[in-house]
Chains A and B, each alone.
Chain A
């Protein structure tokens, strides 16, 4: 299920899931969040705006994540998994993964926009059949600095290593847009769908 913030373009994410034959519903209803096999936080708008738009749906998402339901954050949705962001002032995130969202280090053109290579670690199940590395489509100006803890991280190189994906148990985040990353992007969504199915 894709969480609806009623802002921006969430249509593309839904289209991509439908394309791979996955049933998807756009909603922010707590009852539906509880029933869903998996949750997707799509990447739209700026951090503060997106958190505010998530509003009352934040708590049910936290509960579902704590209960072991697979959660996938995309772009800003991925950033929202962390503790804080400093995009347009300080904002609190969902705090599901320890770390903070900070600007891309100076020296590179911002936003980081286009196709970049992501090294895909062996132990991240979101990237089954895609290893050792694939290009994905990025469009962002901030990135997540992952804190201490049992977190798996995949990086992309943009002058310095930037967090491209994280996994902490059932919680997954991708800074890139799998729904806009061609075949390899659709494969990531299929893998997430598989993770959700195995979890039910």
Chain B
């Protein structure tokens, strides 16, 4: 049986890890390579690096970063942020990333998912969705693009289903409403998406306490939980999280 996964997320801006609240008010959280190596040593199951600047100039920087991370991190890691072409994906995978996540480019050009899945395998392609609760439709969420700054008319659950059809191997589902609040994941969102797709869903946004992780898996149906604030700022260690989940009966890699 596969274990449930603990995935620290490193948002990278100008070669530093940062973390904000609701995608704003960023705080410095350290050096990405150092922090990545520390999480790898501490027993994290995977890592996610998101280039949140994602400009043309930062593109080369992120490839260099991936190379340096790969020399120090011996668990699978995903890289995302501003990826637009299959060639960029190829370069990141060759540089040592296990998977890449696509977000804005997949919405504007869904074929990118299909092309990448065909060339590198579904397991390499993570569809990242930034979801915001719809103000007009109760119990629905809208897909936001461009680092969450631009809401679209696309419905999150429908987009997740379409993403799976196109060949995404995994969904990285971030609740913008919960992000950085430490108030718990949006498990209504997690459940809606995890019930609609057959691929793993990574719950993201809102982790603040250990029981939040448990709830995302059990109530939300997530296969993995992603967190940033609570690990970067030393609230909990990876081991503490894993032991807690194991003691509540979940299969963990410990």
Asked whether A157 and B1 contact (CB < 8 A) given A109-B199, A113-B169, the answer is yes
Expressed in whole angstroms, the minimum distance between the Cβ of B193 and any Cβ of chain A is 16
Inter-subunit contact A135/B3 (CB<8 Å): yes
Q: Give the interface size bracket for B toward A.
A: 20 to 34
Asked whether A116 and B3 contact (CB < 8 A) given A16-B74, A186-B74, the answer is yes
| B215: Cβ under 8 A from any A Cβ | no
Inter-subunit contact B96/A12 (CB<8 Å): yes
| B98: Cβ under 8 A from any A Cβ | yes
- Among B11-19, B37-45, B146-154, the stretch in contact with A: B37-45
Inter-subunit contact A180/B3 (CB<8 Å): no
Query: Digit string of A112-149 for contact with B (CB within 8 Å is 1, else 0)?
Result: 11111100000000000000000101010000000000
Inter-subunit contact A182/B123 (CB<8 Å): no
| A52: Cβ under 8 A from any B Cβ | no
Inter-subunit contact A111/B123 (CB<8 Å): yes
Q: Chain B contact residues: over half helix, strand or loop, or mixed?
A: loop
Inter-subunit contact B198/A19 (CB<8 Å): no
**Nearest chain B residue, comparing its CB with the CB of A16:** B74
Inter-subunit contact A111/B169 (CB<8 Å): yes
A contact residues around B3 at 8 Å (CB): 114-117, 135
Inter-subunit contact B2/A19 (CB<8 Å): no
A contact residues around B45 at 8 Å (CB): 114-115
Q: Choose from A11, A116, A157 the contact partner of B70 (Cβ within 8 Å).
A: A11
Asked whether A181 and B75 contact (CB < 8 A) given A9-B94, A15-B70, the answer is yes
How far is it, in angstroms, between the C-alpha of A112 and the C-alpha of B71 when the chains are bound? 25
Query: Digit string of A48-67 for contact with B (CB within 8 Å is 1, else 0)?
Result: 00000000000000000000
Expressed in whole angstroms, the minimum distance between the Cβ of A133 and any Cβ of chain B is 11
- Listed in ascending order, the chain A residues whose CB lies under 8 Å from chain B are 8-9, 11-12, 15-16, 18-19, 109, 111-117, 135, 137, 139, 157-158, 177, 179-183, 185-186
Q: A115-B3, A180-B75 are in contact. List 16 more A-B contacts (CB 8 A).
A: A8-B94, A19-B71, A112-B2, A113-B123, A114-B200, A115-B5, A115-B45, A116-B2, A117-B1, A135-B253, A137-B76, A139-B76, A158-B1, A181-B74, A183-B43, A186-B74
Closest 4 CB pairs of A and B: A135-B253, A114-B2, A115-B253, A115-B3
